């Protein structure tokens, strides 16, 4: 049943050795993304930090490489608000010997109204459309070497959300929180629909979703002066960035993780926890008809077709 965690939850000590594998983590220059990249690199994976700012990526690489553990990292320029940049990043990534793990982690929350891909509101464009396009372009590469995993970061903010297909450009009104929830619902719908289609196609690639609970993150940067205070408070009382990274790491590496599943903190109301397990996805997030509609709309808006038939 949705919301029922497994008897044996996942912790950092359960991450297996990843030597010989290559991972891409979007938004890996800070916060939860940085902790995901760090953990993967510490276990021996080559990790590409996919983000916009080369200087911030270099600082993150230095941070990851400053510890005693081995670290093989690289920078992959990626602006999820720009489909041309997404195409360029996928083309560069495809030149790697292999890609085993793609973690769609990057996101923005509560920004002033802005627009990107096909005139869509910025949160929907970056959090969902950019990742939809990037993943679609890398599916062939992920299918090599026995099949990889796609992990998409959602949020407990998907609860109560819906997709307003008639207002994706926010021309009929913009409420930051509602649009953020919409984008996170889209992430979860996409992850589940992608796995259904991969299974139907007989692909060895698997798609999963996760969420970090309420964790310390740079997502609060659009909340004004109180954002930093709130983020620090969250890190102390609820989830640190490292603990918030754990569900993504479970989805990406746990041999027992299953395609189509959703992982989150193994704590009170999934808001925090030092271990992770299966998380609760709403009925809306599990609606295959809504997911198919979103899939088709995403192809229309990005101009990129994963070429996977519906299940």
Q: How confident is the model at residue 238 (pLDDT cuts 50, 70, 90)?
A: low
The total number of structural domains that make up the chain: 1
- Residues facing 22 on adjacent strands: 46
**Residue 140, CB half-sphere, CA atoms under 13 Å: how many?**
9
The predicted-structure confidence for 79-110, as pLDDT tens digits, reads as follows 999 999 999 999 999 999 999 999 999 999 99
Find, among 135, 262, 256, 125, the residue nearest to 194 by Cα.
135
Arithmetic mean of pLDDT, 296-311: 97
Arithmetic mean of pLDDT, 232-243: 65
Residue 12 lies in a domain: no
Active site residue 180: yes
**Residue 279, CB half-sphere, CA atoms under 13 Å: how many?**
39
Catalytic residue among 180, 262, 263, 280: 180
Mean pLDDT of the chain: 91
Q: Which CATH number does the domain housing residue 175 bear? A: 3.40.50.720
Q: How confident is the model at residue 267 (pLDDT cuts 50, 70, 90)?
A: confident
Residue 5 lies in a domain: no
Q: How far apart are the C-alpha atoms of 230 and 234, rounded to whole Å? A: 6
Instruction: Tell me what pLDDT residue 231 has.
Output: 44
Residue 308 lies in a domain: no
The predicted-structure confidence for 108-155, as pLDDT tens digits, reads as follows 999 999 999 999 999 999 999 999 999 999 999 999 999 999 999 999
Residue 193 lies in a domain: yes
Residue 310 lies in a domain: no
Instruction: Tell me what pLDDT residue 218 has.
Output: 63
Q: What is the 3-state secondary structure (H, E, C) of 41-82?
A: HHCCCEEEEEECCHHHHHHHHHHHHCCCCCCEEEEEECCCCC
Residue 136 lies in a domain: yes
Report angle CA 166, 169, 174 to the nearest 5 degrees. Answer: 95
Find, among 50, 281, 249, the residue nearest to 156 by Cα.
281
Residue 137 lies in a domain: yes
Residue 6 lies in a domain: no
The whole domain housing 148 covers: 17-301
Instruction: Tell me what pLDDT residue 229 has.
Output: 41
């Amino acid at each position: 049943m949705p919301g029922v965690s497994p008897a044996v939850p996942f912790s950092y000590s359960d991450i297996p050795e990843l030597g010989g594998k290559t991972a891409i983590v979007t938004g890996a220059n800070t916060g939860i993304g940085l902790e995901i990249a760090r953990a993967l690199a510490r276990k021996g994976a080559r990790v590409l930090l996919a983000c916009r700012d080369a200087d911030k990526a270099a600082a993150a690489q230095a941070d990851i490489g400053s510890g005693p553990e081995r670290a093989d990292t690289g920078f992959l320029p990626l602006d999820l608000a720009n489909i041309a940049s997404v195409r360029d990043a996928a083309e560069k990534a495809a030149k790697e010997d292999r890609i085993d793990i793609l973690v769609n982690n990057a996101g923005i929350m509560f920004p002033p109204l802005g627009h990107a891909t096909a005139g869509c509101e910025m949160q929907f464009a970056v959090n969902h459309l950019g990742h939809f396009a990037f993943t679609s372009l890398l599916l062939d590469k992920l299918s090599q070497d026995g099949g990889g995993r796609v992990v998409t970061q959602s949020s407990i903010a998907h609860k109560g959300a819906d997709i307003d297909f008639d207002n994706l450009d926010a021309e009929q009104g913009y409420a930051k929180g509602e649009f953020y929830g919409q984008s996170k619902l889209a992430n979860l719908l996409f992850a589940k629909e992608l796995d259904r289609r991969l299974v139907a196609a007989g692909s060895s690639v698997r798609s999963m979703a996760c969420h970090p609970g309420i964790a310390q993150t740079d997502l609060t940067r659009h909340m004004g002066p109180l954002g930093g205070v709130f983020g620090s408070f969250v890190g102390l009382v609820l989830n640190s960035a490292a603990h918030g990274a754990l569900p993504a790491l479970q989805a990406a590496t746990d041999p027992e993780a299953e395609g189509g599943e959703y992982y989150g903190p193994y704590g009170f109301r999934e808001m925090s926890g030092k271990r992770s397990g299966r998380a609760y996805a709403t009925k809306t997030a599990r609606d295959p008809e809504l997911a198919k509609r979103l899939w088709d709309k995403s192809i229309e808006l990005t101009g990129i077709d994963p070429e996977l038939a519906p299940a």
